[in-house]
Amino acid sequence: MTPEEKITNFVFKSLHNVTQNGLSIILLGTINSEPALVIIKHLPFPLSPTQLTSLTKTFTSPSLIGQNDIYTWLTAVHLGPVKLDIIHPATAKHISKYASQQYRSVLETPSIYTTHTLPRITRLRSNGSVTWVHNILSGAAEQDSILFRNEDFILAPDLHFDGRSREGFHLLAIATREDIASLRDLKVGNLEYLKNLERDIRTAARDLAREKYGWRDVEDEDLLVYVHYFPTYFHFHVHVTFVGGEVGAAQAVGKAWDLRSVVVLLEGRKEAGGRGLEEVELRVTVGVESEFWKEVFGPLREGREPEGV
């Protein structure tokens, strides 16, 4: 079977997931009686003037939705390209990874953090989940992806950045220090460190945008600099994207914290005579498939005490 024949041999079983408001769908089915996932996405419209000149001539079967004064709404049929990602044979793990996930917005109090979340973070860290970060920092792995390095952090492209699309610009600043697992570990004593970190990350990312990627007009203010809570891995790292670029769940409140807001929260703790961000309530978006929902917030919601780590 050629790769192209995979799609013609696909037998549909069920709609597995819908993303991008229906502009991308994931189908579960079989190819040769083996499980297969097909991810179907619309591709961007062409943007060259030549193609755009003829684009509106390619629409057929215009059908009126409505008209009001100078506004007209139509649907039409368009012959356009789609992208197909096929995973075959797909394992149960693939099938679960691409399934839709429910999210919950939970309140993590200081007491829930200390009693239930922190021991799980500690367990995850001791189980080797951040070894790959240490390997990058120590020079043992992925050295060619490091774009910038100073005493406090390295800058590398995020996995999802293709290096070309300005909208999708996404760098990661990984802290060289290993004692901060998440924003919860930030203490009032880290205030100067954090302010310098924001300034230096902005400068380095701006210079890379200008010099490596060729966007000469980029200024410090064009950058959004934020951290995740919960992060995907528990070693302090900071995301850098363009303001007004692609916005997804990774930039949304409940998941993302502007680094300056973190500073402001911490300044509040300092003025209040407190220690750090383990003392504040945080509203956090948690996937119901994550261990934090399954082991902590799910049981708490049902009035049960979470079990030991």
| Run of H or E residues at 27 | strand 24-31
Stretch that binds a copy of itself, among 141-149, 173-181, 229-237, 241-249 (CB under 8 A): 241-249
Contact string (CB under 8 A) for a copy of itself, positions 262-281, x = contact: -xxx-xxx-xxxx-----xx
Q: Give the H/E segment covering residue 132.
A: helix 131-138
Q: Which span (75-83, 126-134, 141-149, 176-184) binds a copy of itself, by CB under 8 A?
A: 75-83
Take residue 303 and report the two structure tokens written for it: 């009035």
With binding defined as CB under 8 A, does residue 99 bind a copy of itself?
no
Beta bridge partners, 37, equal: 28, 87
For residues 129 to 168, the per-residue mask of contacts with a copy of itself, x marking binding by CB under 8 A and - elsewhere, is: ------------------------------------x-xx
User: Helices 259-271 and 191-211 meet at what angle, rounded to 10?
Assistant: 170
Under 8 Å between Cβ of 27 and 16: yes
- 197 vs 222, which CB is nearer to a copy of itself? 222
- Residue 237 catalytic? yes
State the Cα–Cα distance between residues 294 and 288, nearest whole angstrom.
7
Instruction: Say which amino acid occupies 153.
Output: F
Least distance between a copy of itself and beta carbon 138 (Å): 29
Distance of CA 216 to CAs 145, 242, 266, 295, Å?
A: 22, 14, 34, 48
Cβ closest to a copy of itself, residue 83 vs residue 177: 83
From the CB of 137, what's the least distance to a copy of itself, in Å?
Answer: 26
The C-alpha atoms of residue 277 and residue 194 are separated, in whole angstroms, by 13
Is there binding between residue 15 and a copy of itself (CB under 8 A)?
yes
Q: Pick from 12, 97, 138, 140: which binds a copy of itself (CB under 8 A)?
A: 12
Which residue, 76 or 99, is less far from a copy of itself as judged by CB?
A: 76
Q: Per CB under 8 A, does 3 bind a copy of itself?
A: yes
Q: How far is the CB of 82 from a copy of itself (least distance, A)?
A: 4
- DSSP one-letter code for 288: T
Count of other CB atoms within 10 angstroms of residue 186: 23
What distance in Å separates the CA atoms of residue 145 and residue 284, rounded to the nearest whole number? Answer: 31
Name which position in 30, 103, 200, 233 contacts a copy of itself (CB under 8 A).
Answer: 103
Does position 88 interact with a copy of itself (CB under 8 A)? The reply is yes
Nearer to a copy of itself, 271 or 305 (CB): 271
Q: Name which position in 32, 85, 96, 143 contacts a copy of itself (CB under 8 A).
A: 85
User: Computed from CA positions of residues 139, 144, 145, 146, in that sequence, does the dihedral angle turn out positive or negative?
Assistant: positive
Catalytic residues: 237
